[in-house]
Structure 1
Amino acid sequence: MYIKKINSVSFQGIEGANSHLASKALFPKAKIITCETFEEVFDSVKNGKSNIGLIPVENSVAGRVAEIHSLMHKTSLKIVGEYFMKIELNLLGIKNTKIKKIESVRSHIHALSQCRKFIKKNKLRMIVTADTALAAKEISEANNHNESAIASKLSANIYNLKILKKNVEDSLKNVTRFILLQKKQIKVNPSKGKILTSLIFAVNNVPAALHKALGCFAINNVNMTKLESYVNETFKNAEFYVDIEGDARDINVSTALNEIKEYTKFVRILGSYYADKFRK
């Protein structure tokens, strides 16, 4: 990871959330700062309340976290790393209940969507909450035999719940990608590992503008690992989020980024950082 001196890390959710698990895995000695919203995570880093922010951006089952695109468009923070974590979701209930008594299940909307087969099979009524750990906390406080939550093992331990069934996710290959945000761009060295650069851009509203813009990467032998489109609040023009291999300072990458300006309204470099070992 090559990110040092992290004393505090902020994430969206409460203790026991998957972002909490990721934070513990990356920075086990750091102070955790829980935030109600993703925007609050961005603000906590920008205002110096935390050294680094951890944000989930996409899941192999549920797809992208759409809100992040608009926040990345506005922020001055830089992406300084990425982390892939296998997601294990469990059905939790109060200590003296049984799975056959359960009538409803609550969790974050992405977690519910990742467990659709199990929920449908057991005919459970879904209740959406702000995050998985909050669902576990609410179940613990309600102390109702008929209610359950889908959350992590850590949530079960924190909120004194019983795991009624382990791994209720539809796919055992359920992985979430997180990005790490700091105020300043980190220095990267290709001798230490594979480097990625993330950026966003909007193309000019003329025929073949996107084709020509992407051609700048191909011509300069820059490999693209991700291309994602989204619309801004006007719905008039699509904007694009791109991950490419290489440092923004590399000759071929910098040449491509300079050439792409001819076909775009703007180009913003979100950061160059080391690829997670998961990609190897």
Structure 2
Amino acid sequence: MTTIAFQGVPGAYSDLACRRAYPGWATLPCPSFEAAMEAVRDGRARLAMLPCENSLAGRVPDIHRLLPDSGLAVVGEHFERVEHCLLARPGATLEGLRKAHSHPMALGQVLKVIKELSLTPVIQADTAGAAQMVAQSGTPEDAAIASSLAAEVYGLQVLRANVEDAPHNTTRFYVMAQRPETPPLEAPHPVTTFVFRVRNMPAALYKALGGFATNGVNMTKLESYMLDGAFTATQFLCDVDGHPEDPRLFRALEELRFFTREVKVLGTYRAHPFRVAHKES
């Protein structure tokens, strides 16, 4: 059975993303992003599903720092709609609930139902862990904000589904593997992910990105972060539409290399249908 690793415990949203993107695969829970990557490197998993950004919360901390030196390649992306459920032990009722347990980010995304039911929010390490706690040691007064998968895994009932305040709450994931799986040049909707470091000179970033504008390459992601705690050493993580063998992106990357200290392509892969649908709408 083919295995895909994720960070978290069974029933986490990353677990759900793995199952939806790769139905029939075994999922491997890992205690950290580094552990999920290590599972791929040592062969215990073929792929790793790693969240990189959320439509409400922004980028996921540490992923941008871990990717360049992971020794892995980005071979795909997945967009997972976050659908929070109000979970409780069998027999519990909405009227009897007093506490809502979950990750602080999830609690902040369900303020309406917390106010409506007059619940006291209780912070837990993660959503699936909150569901596990309610199942094992909770009372009929305790509820968890987690996924429908967590309800299945821990034997809880869904008292109310889709309790999130924002209907567009979506998390994007990078899919990582030991080796690149670059699609052919003629494949539709390619996306390329890479990192680069600008030279320490005036307008370096402006000049480095100029080639993408002049060659008509669409940049969909640009994130900066410091390296080794040095305020003068900045690295950028980018996603662009296109294939490195396409003349337009090829010329843009060549110009980028002229103004940078290092350019490292992390992977080229086909865009997820979610991205394609929103691009065409």
Same fold (TM over 0.5): yes
Whole-angstrom CA distance in 1 between matches of 2:228 and 2:108: 26
Which residue of structure 1 aligns with residue 139 of structure 2? 144
8 Å CA contact retained: 1:62, 1:114: no
The yes-or-no answer on 1:278 pairing with 2:274 is yes
Whole-angstrom CA distance in 1 between matches of 2:204 and 2:226: 16
Deviation at 1:34, TM superposition (A): 0.9
Which residue of structure 2 aligns with residue 87 of structure 1? 82
Matched residue pairs, number? 275
CA RMSD of aligned residues (A): 1.8
Unaligned runs of 5+ residues in structure 1 are: 1-5
Which residue of structure 2 aligns with residue 30 of structure 1? 25
Q: Describe the shift of the 1:35–1:159 C-alpha distance in structure 2 as closer, same or farther (beyond 3 A).
A: same
8 Å CA contact retained: 2:72, 2:177: yes
User: CA offsets, 1:184-240, max 9 Å, x none?
Assistant: 111312433210001112212322111111102112222111112223341503322
Deviation at 1:177, TM superposition (A): 0.9
Which residue of structure 2 aligns with residue 3 of structure 1? none
Which residue of structure 2 aligns with residue 214 of structure 1? 209
TM-score by length of 2: 0.91
The yes-or-no answer on 1:264 pairing with 2:275 is no
TM-score by length of 1: 0.91
8 Å CA contact retained: 1:106, 1:150: yes
Unaligned runs of 5+ residues in structure 2 are: 277-281
Deviation at 1:133, TM superposition (A): 1.4
Whole-angstrom CA distance in 2 between matches of 1:108 and 1:238: 31
Q: Describe the shift of the 1:265–1:110 C-alpha distance in structure 2 as closer, same or farther (beyond 3 A).
A: farther
User: CA offsets, 1:48-86, max 9 Å, x none?
Assistant: 110011111111122211221111132110000011121
Which residue of structure 2 aligns with residue 243 of structure 1? 239
8 Å CA contact retained: 2:197, 2:236: yes
**Residue range with higher mean Cα deviation, 186-195 or 29-38:** 186-195
Which residue of structure 1 aligns with residue 63 of structure 2? 68
Q: Describe the shift of the 1:205–1:222 C-alpha distance in structure 2 as closer, same or farther (beyond 3 A).
A: same
Q: Describe the shift of the 1:76–1:212 C-alpha distance in structure 2 as closer, same or farther (beyond 3 A).
A: same
Whole-angstrom CA distance in 2 between matches of 1:82 and 1:235: 31
Q: Aligned to 2:91, which of 73, 96, 103?
A: 96
